[in-house]
Structure 1
Amino acid sequence: MGKSKTTKFKRPQFNAVGLPVNAVKEVDDEEEHDEDSCPAAEFLEKLQSPSADMREFACASISRVVQQSQTIPGFLQRDAVRRLGPMLLDSSLGVRETATGALRNLSACGGQEVCEDMVKHDVMTPLTALLRECCAGFESSLVPMKDEKNAVEDIANEAVNLLWNLCESSSQALSMFNKSGLLDAVVLCMERHQHNVELAISAAHCLHTVTEDNPELLCSLNTAVVGALEKVLLSSQPDIAHTLLRTLAAGTLWNMKGSLPAASQAQTLSTVVATLSQCLDLDAGTLIPHLRQEEEVRQRSSPAVTDAEDHAAGELPVEEMDEEEEAPKHKRNGKSTKADNDFSDLLPRGKEELREATALLTAQQTSLEIIVNMCCSDDPSDDEWEEESSSDESDMGPDGLCDGVSNLMSPLCLSAEVHGALINHSIPAKVLQKTEFPRKEALDVCHQNSSWRSLKIKMHRVQSRALTCLHSILSTMDAKSLGGPAALQDAAQHLSTLVFGAAEIPKDEEFLEAVISAMRSLLQMIASQNIPQCMTPQQLMSLSEAATRCDVVSVRVNAVAILGITGSTLAKEKGTAETLQMIGNALLAVATKDADLVVNGEALDALFDVFADGDEAEKAAKNIQLLPALKALQPVFKAKIRKEGRGKYSPQQLCVLDNIKVNLRRFIGYLEKVVKK
């Protein structure tokens, strides 16, 4: 490739499309340059070069540079999408691959707005044509050379990843996918798993995305698609890559459950759950150190290659390396989902062990998310991954009140077939096992190797997903199915250890949100079975204080609910007035001071439960001056609903808050009668 002077620009030294690190030309060190300038104009101009090498160089350069998100506006302002689009059908296979890789990176690093902009600029038209040509070229006699056939599969892999990103972020792209007949092309890519498992996994990711809540597509499914997925599900390759592939196929079949032939639904369900169970059997804490050891052995045999690889993988985009940054949320099909800021699929080739470790954690996270979906109702509003509070319609009691706990005991449409499959494959026990903190040996691998550092985030995310999954299981199964009182007590002790085992309660919001929701549902089940609870008053107060400092509304809501569950249980026992006073004061503080009306309402609802009846409750209520406190709070709460409610909260939340307002008036009347006794 010829030398040409370009503006030097600091960028990560790894390449999403696997080209050598030195493929992009840099100027000589002594050349004067402006590091803050954007090279977009020069690279885009080179796309028009008559030289295929120069066009490929320009596409590869763009692919690298856009991994720094601050450069993306410069490319978009210069119409990069419209100028890169024709490159997807360039006469050179190298240009096709690098151009598709550039658009893929642009979509991955730019987020939802960039994806929607790409669709508006008609990127789907050349992408559709490219995928069809790739599929035709898989077995075409016009491509006799083995290397060229691999090149076609590499292009297809970039194209499928781009398609996946677009359909994940843009409802318009998803609609175009439905109408374009691309489903068969993506399925064909998945069927290449025996020859190219990387391409198959990309296709399976795409299928898992496009089949979620997409009735238009599901109506047009044919038996060939179902058969291809079932064939993947029954594949026997033992490697981790195929484990991920089977997991994604299982998730896709679950998405399609309503379109499966009735005669085979039960068998397919059993196979899906068996696949998830086998994935959860794998021990990441053992496998990750083992994979790192394998990498070290390989590196010792090829040190020159290793240095380049480590340098390439060690300088990931800022988004990947920042463990403290909260992932942004984007919408697809009207639902909010949390983006993982996951750039692991952009790892350079040659990092096979790191790819395997990443695939393992992705497979286990996906398995847990599928189980959550199995435990949730089919109501489109019931999205487990949305930020939620107990004050939506799903938590309303029979009288329309915001019942902070009773809903957790009512099954969420878990069919007998799903229930039986989950129990038969020991899913509850395996999920509980995954709620453990990551092993020290695996974390040490992440701390000692910069290229493996991102796995730490993924390991903690698997734990958080397992806790959310445990919450869903507890919400849909009875105590007997989960092993009875002894098993529930063991689980409660385990969750208490997760929260209170260290000197301080963990501050990570994703973990707190998941563990407190699981703890809430478990404590409610324990209370309903009259099983002694394992949390001390001091632990309760420390949990309440930690939750109060958390910005996530659902964490504060669930912490308040836990106080209510524990308090209502203690109110039935003798000698508990002092503890009830502590709980009452904590709930009053939240009801009065929290900035969110939903949390205020949950705290009031918990107060109603704790102080509804019993001598100990009456004694505690008198000691903390509950009646005058609620009388003072009543007009403030009513005014806050009137002032803030309409613009800030949903109609369902407002309905619940109105019911709590009515119940507050009634509860004050009840306390007045108690005082007069």
Structure 2
Amino acid sequence: CWGKTNSPMPTQGCSPAQSCEFHRLGRLQSPSADVREFACASISRVVQQSQTIPGFLQRDAVRRLGPLMLDRSLAVRETATGALRNLSACGGHEVCDDMVKQDVMTPLTALLREVRPSLVNHSLTLMYLWKNTVEDVANEAVNLLWNLCESSSQALSVFNKAGILDVILQCLERHTHNIKLALSAAHCLHTVTEDNAELLCSMNNAVLGTLESVLLSSQADMSHTLLRTLAAGSVWNLKSSLPTAHQAQTLTALMATLSQCLELDAGTLIPQLRQVEVARSATASEAGNMEDHQAAAGNMPVEEMEDDEEEGVGLRKNGKATKIDKDFSDLLPRGKEELREATALLTAQQTSLEIIVNMCCSDDPSDDEWEEASSSDESEMCPDGLSEGNTSLLSPLCLSAEVHAALINHNIPEKVLKKTQFPSSEAMDVCRHNPTWKILIKKMHRVQYRALTCLHNMLSTMDAESLGGAAALQAIYMSLYSTTALSQHVSWMTHCLCLCLCVCCQCMTPQQMMSLSEAATCCDVVSVRVNALAILGITGSTLAKENGTAETLQMIGNALLQVATKDANLVVCGEALDALFDVFADGDEAERAAENINLLSALKALQPVFKAKIRKEGKGKYSPEQLCVLDNVKVNLRRFIGYLETVVKK
């Protein structure tokens, strides 16, 4: 703890760590602004260690810090808001929910309203330093708001009702003077506009005008590239609010933004940025100039900024991309401008790919809601009549001709294909050999994962020729298939299998397909094994309709039987049986292959074993939903055996 305290000592039995928490929180009530500021800064640093968070929450830290966001000292406001920001960022969804339940949104919205005049009225005669401090406070507040709205539906509801959208837009409009603040606002807006029907009614021409002005900005640095990309994502989220007359123009600007972002070569730019940093460091008068200590409010150490996202898991069941990881580029230590630029570039490219994923998502469960919304008279509900005449140009019901043409005209498929390649060895070496740049390695891989997801969705909504034809897809598959890295990354397995499903008949030999499937079905992760088996089943059922495929069907059938017989997880066994039903359900090739592998005899032998396992293991190890699925598989197995018996008698 810092200095002496007049606060009462903690109760007997507190650990040293608990005692420190007590003292830090006690100093928040100090009459000295300097002491309050230091206490907030201390808490801001400590909560970066996730194990300390429960102790602070148990001592009502949120309710103690909340009022300090409105402290008479701007420095205290900044550090208090920064401490809450770190708490929300490091604590995760549950902590964010808890913070909202403890009414953190009330002082936060009050703070945002208070800082708005200094953001709006540029004629105020303020000293530059003071105004800059106000914007620093706003930056911490907007980041906190972003974290809370991303994790809590209650926080999002408060955002919708509190009328603070204007504050976010004012922060965004500061992009020519304060890119850090504008980026925070852009991230927040991108989050709050996603699947937020209530907010659509707050949209007006001023909102869309601000976003369009950002899209048309011309600054070439990576921070502005990220800013434009986030604005593009917000525009896409708000597509149902676009006036019909402006849809084509806005779509063109949006696609141009994504195209320009993906055109940048991180493999070349990252080594160049690192060289600039090294040269600047060599000329610094003191070595400490490059490693200046972090500002107290909100700053997190570089090595702790990465999340625990499983690599490549960025796809919902409906095919839409999810935003799992956070961007902490503004929390890098001072003097790391080049690293900040590199981080912004990779975040922008990841975001661009996620937007394209959602553009090409034709299996959204909310399609009915979209259809109802587009058929209703929304002009009565929304200001400026922005929804009037909203038609099919940006409809998510399918990949419209206009969107398809825009993707092709801006060479988006070609640029996505390039991003599916492994990160350049030169860029990887630069990051491996410098501790502070190592955080970019995961980000480079994440761009590739998103590109593979994007390619998968494109294949479901566009023909192969739009993606360069079978030869281009085969080249991608072979570059992934030939590397030993596949066995080290679960998510690549899943994405590659999805890719193979779409192109295997044209691009893969049966041996290649079975080799990849074997690797996936041996994976320790149950979900990957299930995905692999499902894809084998769909692939086999497709091949069964073609002539001369009996040999490949035999290979698939033997592989599925092996899993159904030997896998320790009943859900995986059930998926293997389901896949067998799909592959051998119909067709001369399937009948021939089933006879050659003695499928009927194998399933008859397996049936009592499978039933016994469900009865013995089911209730203890599997959920009611899983047991229901397994019971259906058991019934279908009996029926399928009956079907095979009739085939044999023919």
Residue correspondence of structure 1 range 61-140 to structure 2 within 5 A? 61-138=42-119, 139=121
Cα distance in 2, alignment partners of residues 476 and 338 from structure 1: 22
TM-superposed CA distance for 1:623, in Å, is: 3.7
The 1:373–1:612 alpha-carbon spacing in structure 2 relative to 1, beyond 3 Å, is: same
CA contact (8 A) 2:270 2:342 kept: yes
Between 1:54-63 and 1:473-482, the stretch displaced more is 473-482
Find 1:301's aligned residue among 277, 283, 297: 283
Asked whether 1:481 is paired with 2:469, we answer: no
Letter in 2 for 1:244: L
Q: How does 1:190-589 map to 2 (within 5 A)?
A: 190-302=172-284, 304-306=286-288, 309=291, 316=301, 319-320=304-305, 339-340=324-325, 343-377=328-362, 379-380=364-365, 413-483=398-468, 487-499=469-481, 501-503=482-484, 505-523=486-504, 527=505, 531=506, 533-537=507-511, 540-554=514-528, 556-562=530-536, 565=539, 569=543, 572=546, 574=548, 579-589=552-562
Q: CA deviation at 1:52?
A: 1.3
Aligned-residue offset at 1:521 = 2.7
1:591 aligns with 2:572: no
Structure-2 change in CA distance of 1:615 and 1:167 (3 Å): closer
Letter of the 2:241 counterpart: S
Alpha-carbon distance in structure 1 between the residues aligned to 2:145 and 2:72: 21
Pairing 1:58–2:39 present? yes
Task: Summarize the Cα distance change of 1:440–1:90 in structure 2 as closer, same or farther, 3 Å threshold.
Answer: same
How far apart, in 2, do the equivalents of 1:447 and 1:217 lie?
43
Counterpart AA for 2:625: Y
Which stretch of the first structure deviates more once superposed, 120-129 or 158-167?
120-129
Give the letter for the 1:472 counterpart.
N
SS of 1:134's equivalent in the other structure is helix
What amino acid does structure 1 have at the position aligned with 2:525? D
Partner of residue 8, structure 2: none
Looking at structure 2, the residues matched to 315 and 168 of structure 1 have their Cα atoms a distance apart, in angstroms, of 19
Q: In the aligned structure 2, how far is the partner of 1:275 from the partner of 1:433?
A: 17
Distance of aligned partners of 1:465 and 1:324 in 2 relative to their CA distance in 1, 3 Å threshold:
closer
Matched, 1:674 2:647: yes
Check whether the contact 2:312–2:450 (CA below 8 A) recurs between aligned residues. no
Q: Which residue of 2 aligns with 1:407?
A: none
Matched, 1:628 2:601: yes
| Cα gap change, 1:199 to 1:341, in 2 (>3 Å) | closer
- How far the C-alpha of 1:281 sits from its partner, in A, is 0.3
Aligned twin of 2:127: 145
Structure 2 length-normalised TM: 0.84
Tell me the distance in 2 between the aligned counterparts of 1:412 and 1:480.
22
Aligned residue in 1 for 2:143: 161
**CA shift for structure 1 position 370:** 0.5
Distance apart, 1:498 and its partner CA: 0.6
Cα RMSD, aligned residues only: 3.5
Contact 2:534 2:576 in 1 (8 A): yes
Structure 1 residue 214: Cα displacement: 0.6
Query: Does 2:625 correspond to 1:649?
Result: yes
Distance in 2 of aligned mates of 1:251 and 1:46: 42
* Structure 1 match to 2:579: 606
- Identity percentage over the alignment? 64
CA distance in 2 between partners of 1:3 and 1:560 (Å) = 59
* Matches of 1:330 and 1:604, distance apart in 2: 26
- Residue of structure 2 equivalent to 1:398: none
Q: Which moved more, 1:606-615 or 1:271-280?
A: 606-615
Shift of 1:594: 4.3
Rounded Cα–Cα distance in structure 1 between residues aligned with 2:450 and 2:314: 17
- The number of aligned residues is 604
Residue-by-residue CA offset, 1:114-170 (whole Å, 9 max, x unaligned): 111111111111111111121211336665101111111111111100000000001
Give the aligned residue type for 1:290: Q
Aligned residue identity for 2:518 = S
> CA separation in 2, counterparts of 1:70 and 1:317?
18
Deviations 1:455-509 (A, max 9, x none): 10010011000000000000011234334xxx2233123213213x124633212
**1:40-55 matched pairs, under 5 angstroms:** 40-55=21-36
Structure 1, unaligned runs of 5 or more: 7-32, 383-410
For residues 90 and 327 of structure 1, do their structure 2 counterparts lie closer, same or farther at Cα, with a shift above 3 Å needed?
A: farther
> Bigger shift: 536-545 or 512-521?
536-545
What secondary structure, in the 3-state scheme, does the structure 2 residue paired with 1:515 have?
A: helix
Give the conservation status (yes or no) of the 8 Å contact 1:516–1:555: no
Aligned-partner Cα distance in 2 for 1:43–1:329: 39
CA 1:341/1:234 → structure 2, altered by over 3 Å: closer, same or farther?
closer
Contact 2:500-2:513 at 8 Å conserved across structures? no
Q: Which secondary structure does the structure 2 equivalent of 1:506 belong to?
A: helix
Q: Which stretch of structure 1 is more off in the superposition, 359-368 or 122-131?
A: 122-131
CA shift for structure 1 position 365: 0.5
Structure 1 pair 330/284, CA: closer, same or farther in 2 (3 Å)?
closer
Residues 1:488 and 1:552: Cα distance change in structure 2 (over 3 Å) = farther
Q: Is the 8 A contact 1:561 1:602 kept in 2?
A: no
- Aligned partners of 2:497 and 2:535 also within 8 Å: no
Which 10-residue stretch deviates more, 355-364 or 596-605? 596-605
- Structure 1 distance, partners of 2:18, 2:86, is 20
Instruction: Name the CA distance, whole Å, in 2 between partners of 1:262 and 1:235.
Output: 23
Q: How far apart are residue 4 of structure 1 and its match?
A: 2.0
Quick check: 2:521–2:528 contact (8 Å CA) kept in 1? no
Aligned-residue offset at 1:546: 3.2
In structure 2, the residue matched to 1:408 is: none
Q: Which amino acid aligns with 2:340?
A: R
Specify the SS of the correspondent of 2:194.
coil
* Structure 1 residue 49 displacement after superposition: 1.5
* Residue type at the aligned position of 1:4: G
